Amino acid sequence: MSTAKKTAQKRRPPRRTLTEPVVQPIPGESLTSWVGALAQQQGFEMKPLLRELHLDRIGGLSAAEMRLSDPVVRRMEKLSGVDAERLHAMTLARYAGNALPHLPMFSSDGVAVQQWHKGAWFHHSQARWCPKCLRGPNSPRWLLSWKLPWSFACVDHRAFMVTECQACWDTVEFRHDAPPERSCENWTDEGEGTYSLGEPCGFSLALGQPVPVSDDAVLTLQTRVNAWLDGMPAHEDRTLVALAAVLIPLLSPSMVRHGDPLLRYAVRSPRGTTQRQRKGRRPWTDSLRVAAAVYAADRLLCRRYSPAEVAEWIADLRLIDHRRAPWRMDMTELAYGPSLRPNPFVEPLVQRGLITLGGWL
């Protein structure tokens, strides 16, 4: 080795590592949120921290939040002191086979991974959150369940989840391989001048004012859905989610006429009348629409209808509300989507022409 290289190695600063005490994850926290809190506590830049935790070896932070490999878990457990069970609980793999399809056996299988992403109902980049939770003593910490469409209300704060910045009224997107945002980074037209340059919105997500839930039934239903997410559901909870899954794109105002007024608004508003949502959003990305679907499913199941009678009831109410367009269900979604296979309500709806199998509009 030349003298110049030896001198350069001597001048190179020693490699940093985590120092105790290490910030601990809060119950239900997502991996990206905890890694962001860890970077802030330890004074690490994100890339060096990902290298130190060996997360760069499995595709970065976004891929790690899907599933952690055993060698990476052992490395993270050694450096942070957080046990393997809690590390795995911060990844979406905990919902595989339940709220999400079973994960592909090999992450390198591109076709299987693509099919999984196409059928899985989760927010890969779009954020939803409870502002009051972000103001907590450990703030801002983001929960893993917020990435799923089935989180539509915060039971602790009796409020609906927020899905848009309350300053620019646009959706908030997660950056790739970065911790969740603290403020809205959407570019606005404010400050446009000679060079047509905009500026970030910059509104703090924790300062938003969530809409309170006025109907206790919505909170009860969220509690039941949470039991299903946690793998401890009753048979009635599974049936509830199965029916809600097919109702999300088939809702009409008459199905929620006795519910929370905000749920009726979510169904009546233009965003709920077509499958071609703003920026390509699918119906299940709207938390209010999901809440309305779960509410309508619960009221319908109380009547103890058979799947065929449920399909007839849905068809009649959609006819009353002049909703005639069928739901074009993607075949991959039918095979891999949450609560869609096996789902006793799909076949009768296909026979009634309310669901057609094909691609999204």
Q: For 179-234, write each residue's pLDDT tens digit.
A: 777 888 887 765 544 455 667 888 888 888 999 998 999 999 999 999 988 888 78
What is each CA distance from 74 to 55, 57, 69, 81, 332, in whole angstroms? 12, 14, 9, 10, 35
Asked whether residue 259 carries a pLDDT value surpassing 60, the answer given is yes
Specify whether the CB–CB gap between 141 and 26 falls below 8 A: yes
Specify whether the CB–CB gap between 128 and 287 falls below 8 A: yes
Asked whether residue 53 carries a pLDDT value surpassing 80, the answer given is yes
Q: Both tokens of residue 88?
A: 């795995």
| Residue 64 is assigned to a structural domain of this protein | yes
Say what the pLDDT of residue 320 is.
87
| Residue 190 is assigned to a structural domain of this protein | no
Specify whether the CB–CB gap between 285 and 277 falls below 8 A: yes
Specify whether the CB–CB gap between 265 and 272 falls below 8 A: no
Q: Kindly indicate the confidence band of residue 88, based on its pLDDT and cuts at 50, 70 and 90.
A: very high
Say what the pLDDT of residue 164 is.
86
Which 3 state secondary structure label does DSSP give 316?
Answer: helix
Say what the pLDDT of residue 359 is.
54
Last residue of a domain, one of 100, 117, 138: 100
| Residue 125 is assigned to a structural domain of this protein | no
Q: Residue 112's closest CA among 123, 122, 101? A: 101
Say what the pLDDT of residue 198 is.
66
Specify whether the CB–CB gap between 75 and 192 falls below 8 A: no
Specify whether the CB–CB gap between 68 and 50 falls below 8 A: no
Say what the pLDDT of residue 196 is.
53
* Host domain of residue 350: 216-358
Q: Both tokens of residue 303?
A: 């009547």
Question: What is the phi/psi pair of residue 159, to 5°?
Answer: -145, 155
Which 3 state secondary structure label does DSSP give 53?
Answer: coil
Q: Kindly indicate the confidence band of residue 72, based on its pLDDT and cuts at 50, 70 and 90.
A: very high
pLDDT in tens, 130-157: 999 998 777 688 999 999 989 999 999 9
- The H or E element that residue 356 is part of is strand 355-358
Total domains present in the chain = 2
- How distant is the alpha carbon of residue 130 from its chain centre? 13
| Residue 142 is assigned to a structural domain of this protein | no
Asked whether residue 12 carries a pLDDT value surpassing 60, the answer given is no
pLDDT in tens, 298-330: 999 999 889 999 999 999 999 888 888 888 877
| Residue 182 is assigned to a structural domain of this protein | no
Q: Both tokens of residue 294?
A: 């779960």
Say what the pLDDT of residue 212 is.
92
Q: Kindly indicate the confidence band of residue 13, based on its pLDDT and cuts at 50, 70 and 90.
A: low
| Residue 113 is assigned to a structural domain of this protein | no
Last residue of a domain, one of 39, 73, 100: 100
Threshold 0.95, pTM exceeds: no
Burial of 126 (0-12, 13-18, 19+ CB in 10 A): middle
Question: What is the phi/psi pair of residue 296, to 5°?
Answer: -65, -40
Asked whether residue 250 carries a pLDDT value surpassing 80, the answer given is yes
Q: Kindly indicate the confidence band of residue 361, based on its pLDDT and cuts at 50, 70 and 90.
A: very low
**Between residues 241 and 4, which one has the greater pLDDT?**
241
Q: Kindly indicate the confidence band of residue 278, based on its pLDDT and cuts at 50, 70 and 90.
A: very low
pLDDT > 70: percent of the chain? 82
Burial of 246 (0-12, 13-18, 19+ CB in 10 A): buried
Say what the pLDDT of residue 268 is.
80
What is each CA distance from 236 to 112, 297, 332, 346, 355, in whole angstroms? 31, 11, 26, 17, 24
The mean pLDDT value of the chain amounts to: 82
Q: What is the identity of the amino acid at 324?
A: R
35-44, 87-96, 187-196, 304-313, range with the lowest pLDDT: 187-196
What is each CA distance from 284 to 60, 123, 149, 298, in whole angstroms? 27, 10, 6, 17
Q: Kindly indicate the confidence band of residue 280, based on its pLDDT and cuts at 50, 70 and 90.
A: low
Region label for 208, one of left (φ > 0), alpha (ψ between -120 and 50) or beta (otherwise): beta
Rounded CA-CA distance 289/169 in Å is 18
Q: Residue 250's closest CA among 346, 113, 175? A: 346
Q: Both tokens of residue 60?
A: 């970065």
25-34, 109-118, 200-209, range with the lowest pLDDT: 109-118
| Residues 227, 96 share a domain | no
Q: How many CB atoms lie within 10 A of CB 306?
A: 10
- Average pLDDT (263-289) is 67
| Residue 166 is assigned to a structural domain of this protein | no
Rounded CA-CA distance 129/22 in Å is 25
Say what the pLDDT of residue 277 is.
45
Say what the pLDDT of residue 275 is.
39
Say what the pLDDT of residue 38 is.
92
Specify whether the CB–CB gap between 294 and 240 falls below 8 A: yes
Rounded CA-CA distance 157/254 in Å is 28
Rounded CA-CA distance 146/157 in Å is 15
Last residue of a domain, one of 100, 135, 156: 100
| Residue 176 is assigned to a structural domain of this protein | no
- Average pLDDT (246-251) is 90
Q: Kindly indicate the confidence band of residue 273, based on its pLDDT and cuts at 50, 70 and 90.
A: very low
